[in-house]
Structure 1
């Protein structure tokens, strides 16, 4: 079946224009199945049955593969055999009636309150970039906004007196979010003492500026939060989304209701916010099980 796979890979590259890594993943999944089929004397697409594919996917589960891995393999095979149907190599797709395994929805990873304190204390606010970075981290944890939303903030979106900010969300909608007194103080200091020193163009409206005087990017923030995670010696993976997850879980741990957290995060569906509820519950179960005074 290698000639068919080569043809399919060419299709993914030239027609679908997928990335090389994505194409490699598709090809690896298909090659794994082809090897499984060959071991059972099946070497033609026309001889592949739904039963054979089902047995292959079952073998993956028996090997302890994650549901997400089995789901990806199913999707890869489905795409491959759909291509063969379009090429009239086979009359119908043998994966068409297969049950699709549900991907595992893992609780988001969050920092403890102590780890957040260490992270937010890591920037040296006595320096220009340190004051800017502390303002960003404090604002992110105080509001739970996405990093893309943080980067899109303009100076006019912040009202430090009333302690709220206007945040743009997907679809052009806006929501008004409260911010903590600490975050307001840090942003206020940055605006009063630092931003003008970074600004090169008087017309620049971005709240947070880089060394060139232009809007800081998501990539720039990634490097910043990674640096402070290392400085704070936090033994956990920190991504730009970590403080958003921590914000939500810490609110729930302190008694906030799920609906309020949903509104703060800007989720359209309560079920999306529910993943934080499950994360909170699992953390409590660990505490109750392992803490000597629980």
Structure 2
């Protein structure tokens, strides 16, 4: 069957976007991974996907290691390209054995970073004033910690997704899977103040239904949230480097340390597999051990 590599690529990207219904960020990652691999083939003088064999696949992955990429990133790239070849095989009967034979690198045993409760308390206590920006930032932080949602999920929340009566928020997760997540009184109070006193001023005649907005009245982006969190850390004089998932990790760790069961935490986080949630048990065990070693007189 006659095909053009660029056509196969474009059809594959449409497939993961429309049929697999992946998020915009995931589609972009897949597209970049495939484009990088096709650029590698061009350098190697390979113009036919059927000519890609196991040695070429190994050579490409070796190059990724040489660049110093994390194992998780390399594993994702292998998955992206393997999926691309699987699609090409089903659509154009292109040989997909090269990446089927390739093993994923072993995952690095690295525990997720999280905040201790006293650090978060210091972060919350750093807020002063009731100006429109402070009210927004405080509500954003309260909701992130109260729900453990991802930043991409936070920025996609609409005004109508908040149920004040039940104290829950409708979240659009990975793979466009919806779930309801509860939040407590602290987040409720912060959201009330933000929606009543801050958001109307920030909107500046703009018309959209996104809950969190930037200083121009446009929907807040993932990058905007990261910037806000960095500014929070500087104001609180916390020297830990922050990234948005740390609050999500803290949410899960504190729940498990407080006695929450694994299945509930899995549901709240929106994890498809329990194994994704189980990593947090290692954190809580390590925390228990450190507490014991630091406090027991004969430890």
Cα deviation digits, residues 250-286 of structure 1 (max 9, x gap): 0000110111000000101101101111111122222
Larger radius of gyration, structure 1 or 2?
1
SS in 1 for 2:194: helix
What is the aligned counterpart of 1:119 among 120, 123, 134?
123
Given that 1:125 and 1:134 are in contact with CA atoms closer than 8 Å, whether structure 2 keeps it comes out as no
Matched, 1:212 2:198: no
What is the aligned counterpart of 2:235 among 224, 231, 237?
231
Q: Name the counterpart of 1:169.
A: 173
Counterparts in 2 of 1:1-150, with a 5 A limit?
68=71, 101-150=105-154
Supply the distance in 1 between the matched residues of 2:163 and 2:100 (Cα, whole angstroms). 55
Q: Name the counterpart of 2:193.
A: 189
Given that 1:143 and 1:247 are in contact with CA atoms closer than 8 Å, whether structure 2 keeps it comes out as yes
> Which stretches in structure 2 are left out of the alignment for 5+ residues?
1-8, 10-30, 41-54, 83-96
Cα deviation digits, residues 8-57 of structure 1 (max 9, x gap): xxxxxxxx9x97xx97xx99xxxxxxxxxxxxxxxxxxxxxx9xx9xxx9
Matched, 1:266 2:270: yes
**Cα distance change on mapping 1:101 and 1:211 into 2, 3 Å:** closer
Supply the distance in 2 between the matched residues of 1:206 and 1:140 (Cα, whole angstroms). 16
TM-superposed CA distance for 1:67, in Å, is 9.0
SS in 1 for 2:179: strand
Q: Name the counterpart of 2:18.
A: none
TM-superposed CA distance for 1:213, in Å, is 0.7
Matched, 1:200 2:204: yes
| Corresponding pairs, count | 248
SS in 2 for 1:175: strand
TM-score normalised by L of structure 2: 0.67
Supply the distance in 2 between the matched residues of 1:264 and 1:202 (Cα, whole angstroms). 32
**Cα distance change on mapping 1:213 and 1:100 into 2, 3 Å:** closer
**Cα distance change on mapping 1:153 and 1:102 into 2, 3 Å:** same
SS in 2 for 1:176: strand
TM-score normalised by L of structure 1: 0.68
**Cα distance change on mapping 1:129 and 1:67 into 2, 3 Å:** closer
Cα deviation digits, residues 46-85 of structure 1 (max 9, x gap): xxxx9xx9xxx9xx9xxxx99949x78xx8xxx9xxxxxx
